[in-house]
Amino acid sequence: MDYTPRSEHWPAIYGRIVLEDSAGAVIGPTGLALCFLVAAKEADLGYSEPVCWANSTVQKLLGITENTLLEARRRSVKAGWLAYEARGTRLAGLYRTRIPGE
């Protein structure tokens, strides 16, 4: 997965863009929470690499079921707000925030 380093203010910039674009109408509230969670973790990592999380970790952080995660992630990726790379059934997936069309 290609990873573009972000500004230190990326979570705030990303959040404003996502909300101003009414992305919640397309990706739903769980999709928004997932995108914001990934943006925050990117900041924690210093924008040096994609976020690496197992499904169970994301489920625990958001308090959701596996099916809810899969649907929120599918909608977020399809809408262009999130990039996700599955790496196999036993490896954690890679996440990064995106802006549709980037």
Confidence of residue 6 (pLDDT cuts 50, 70, 90): confident
49 Cβ partners below 8 Å, 6+ apart? 3
End-to-end CA distance of the chain: 14
Residue 91 tokens, joined? 């490896």
- Per domain, the residue ranges of the chain are 10-97
pLDDT greater than 70 at residue 1: no
Under CATH, which number does the domain 10-97 receive?
Answer: 1.10.10.10
Measure the CA–CA gap between 62 and 45, rounded to whole angstroms.
19
Secondary structure letter of residue 47 according to DSSP: T
Q: Give the tens place of pLDDT for each residue, 41-85.
A: 999 998 888 999 999 999 999 999 999 999 999 999 999 999 999
**Closest of 41, 42, 28, 39 to residue 75, by C-alpha:** 28
What is the pTM for the complete model shown? 0.91
